[in-house]
Amino acid sequence: MEKDYTLLKAKAIKFRKGGLSYNEIKEKLVVSKSTLSYWLKSIHLKPEYRKRFYTNRIQNLARGPQSQKERRSREIEKIIEEAEKEIKVPLSFEAYRLMGAALYWAEGSKGNVFEITNSDPYLIIFIVSWVESVFNIPARNLKARLNIYPQQNESKIKKFWSDLTDIPLKNFGKTYVKPLSKGYKKNDLYHGTIKIYVPKSTDRKHRVFGWINKVLKDVDPKVKFVEKKWRSLTKSSRPANLNQ
């Protein structure tokens, strides 16, 4: 249905004389701001309306950055909500297995032990549950160790992680307390950092990297080609230790 612009213009003039702003009229009539500007340029506002518009502009300028921050926060919430709808849960076992493998690839030890270190409770509880589901190793068989700062309460932090993971307190090894020096950040990780260790699981760690290798088969040739092309980078000398 075509819009009756004669009627819309008459309504716009009435709203403007009643003290509404262009944005308010635009929302009511669904017409462009440029059209309103053309229709209403000769309409003179009462002083009290001009004062309201001026006050609103000043307030918007004053809270501009905060207003933008809040708007962006709402946009991000919307993006996350829409993204959640794209994921079907519960995950298939294959997807679940690869998600844990990818997390271990990013955060786990690349040495001769099966361990992962992090401060994020969500990541840690996921990995503990993943180890039990994929490898049939319950939390009571896992080992743990904390990294904390001197001002933190070691006993309470241990209990926090034990409650979260179901790893018994007796399975926690000696806590590493980071010294307060210029070489360390002063801000706290409130729960500290925890290292989860899976005993006698070196072969399982190799299985995890086997799964990762399978996923990366398509990109493997390009990586090897480019690494070979830039092999000279491996011949760079190590930087001198200026602290010695």
pLDDT at 93: 95
pLDDT for 186 beyond 60: no
pLDDT band at 3 (very low <50, low <70, confident <90, very high): confident
CA–CA distance, 179 with 148 (Å, rounded to integer): 9
% of the chain residues with pLDDT over 90: 59
The DSSP result for 112-166, as a single string, is: SSEEEEES-HHHHHHHHHHHHHHH---GGG-EEEEEE-TTS-HHHHHHHHHHHH-
3-class secondary structure, 177: strand
Pairing assessment for the beta strands 114-118 and 143-148 based on DSSP bridges: unpaired
Q: What residue type is 171 in one-letter code? A: N
**pTM for the full model?**
0.67
Q: In the predicted model, what is the mean pLDDT of residues 17-37?
A: 88
Domains identified in the chain and CATH numbers: 5-80 (no CATH), 93-218 (3.30.1330)
pLDDT tens digits for range 90-120: 999 999 999 999 999 999 999 989 999 999 9
Structure tokens of 19? Answer: 């003290």
